[in-house]
């Protein structure tokens, strides 16, 4: 992986750092699979009580690497969807630290996190329709539940970017901080969670997620089928090819 995904375990917290900064942490298939491996390690380890996912103080995740994305075979389960399933099925608290770009999966993965801290320089975007695609990660269900249909339509269909304070007002993030204190703040939250009685924390989290668990699975299945179909359409192929020529 050439250190594109870094990890560190300390005091019951597994910290995962996206480290492809030259590409704004755009995710490749190999990076998705590496994330799946780390999430599975955290899920099965008795020593890990909380997970942090972060970039650095200037960049979180610019979404899929489009060149890599175009090489995915339609008859194979894409690594991105495997990661989305892993994320949705994860059983321990997730703290996300967001700075700079949070595009596509860089925003939708936050819907499956438990604490989200955003730096003031954060810019969120869900540009699925601009790419000829559709929402993923159950965002077509979770975002309307969070903000209502008309605002969800604006976010998911118009796909215009929005800042950290808007994300806060939409309840997509817990707190907005300056970029310099972002990673420290996320670490403090994770350490606080890891120090609590583990069974109590995991049980409480499971109860909080129970009401939507079936709906999330159903939404992901519908989105996955629609996404795979749209990837093969002339519109999507033309848009993605044009993007790669820039």
Domains, the chain, ordered by start: 5-180 (3.90.226.10)
Partner residues linked to 70 by β-bridges:
none
- 184, 190 contact by CB (below 8 A): no
Please give the pLDDT value at position 5. Answer: 98
DSSP H stretches of helix in the chain: 29-44, 66-70, 79-89, 105-108, 139-147, 149-153, 164-169, 182-194, 198-231, 234-245
| CB contact burial 161-188 (16+ within 10 A = b; e otherwise) | ebebeebbebebbbebbebeebbebbbe
CA atoms within 13 A on the CB side of 29: 11
Please give the pLDDT value at position 153. Answer: 99
Please give the pLDDT value at position 73. Answer: 64
162-163 sheet: strands from edge to edge = 101-103, 123-125, 162-163
CA angle, residues 53, 172, 4, in degrees to nearest 5: 20
Please give the pLDDT value at position 245. Answer: 80
Please give the pLDDT value at position 71. Answer: 76
- Tokens coding 223: 């989105």
DSSP H stretches of helix in 45-104: 66-70, 79-89
Checking 225-231 for CB contacts under 8 A at 24+ apart, the result is 226/134, 227/81, 227/133, 227/134, 227/136, 228/74, 230/132, 230/133, 230/134, 231/72, 231/74, 231/133
- Tokens coding 175: 């707190």
| pTM confidence score | 0.96
5-10 sheet: strands from edge to edge = 5-10, 13-18, 50-54, 94-98, 115-119, 175-177
- CA–CA dist 190, 9 (Å, integer): 12
Q: How many CB atoms lie under 10 A from the CB of residue 151?
A: 13
| Per-residue pLDDT tens listing for the chain (246 residues) | 579 999 999 999 999 999 999 999 999 999 999 999 999 999 999 999 999 999 999 999 999 998 888 776 654 468 999 999 999 999 999 999 999 999 999 999 999 999 999 999 999 999 999 999 999 999 999 999 999 999 999 999 999 999 999 999 999 999 999 999 999 999 999 999 999 999 999 999 999 999 999 999 999 999 999 999 999 999 999 999 888 887
Which pairing describes strands 94-98 and 175-177: parallel, antiparallel, or unpaired?
A: unpaired
């Amino acid at each position: 992986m050439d250190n594109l995904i870094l990890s560190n375990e300390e005091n019951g917290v597994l910290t995962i750092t996206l480290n492809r900064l030259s590409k704004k942490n755009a995710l490749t298939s190999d990076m998705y699979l590496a994330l799946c491996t780390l999430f599975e390690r955290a899920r099965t380890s008795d020593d890990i009580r909380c997970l942090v996912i972060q970039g650095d103080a200037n960049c979180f995740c610019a979404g899929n690497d489009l060149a890599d994305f175009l090489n995915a075979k339609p008859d194979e389960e894409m690594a991105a969807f495997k990661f989305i399933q892993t994320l949705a099925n994860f059983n321990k608290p997730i703290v996300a630290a967001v700075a700079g770009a949070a595009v596509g999966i860089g925003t939708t993965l936050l819907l499956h996190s438990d604490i989200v801290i955003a730096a003031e320089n954060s810019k969120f975007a869900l540009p699925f329709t601009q790419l000829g695609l559709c929402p993923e990660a159950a965002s077509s269900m979770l975002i309307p539940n969070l903000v209502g249909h008309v605002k969800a339509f604006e976010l998911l269909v118009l796909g215009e970017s929005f800042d950290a304070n808007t994300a806060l007002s939409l309840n997509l993030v817990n707190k907005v901080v300056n970029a310099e204190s972002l990673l420290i703040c996320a670490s403090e939250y994770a350490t606080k969670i890891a120090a609590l009685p583990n069974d109590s924390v995991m049980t409480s989290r499971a109860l909080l997620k129970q009401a939507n668990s079936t709906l999330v699975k159903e939404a992901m299945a519908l989105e996955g089928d629609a996404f795979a179909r749209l990837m093969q359409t002339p519109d999507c192929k033309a848009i993605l090819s044009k993007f790669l020529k820039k």
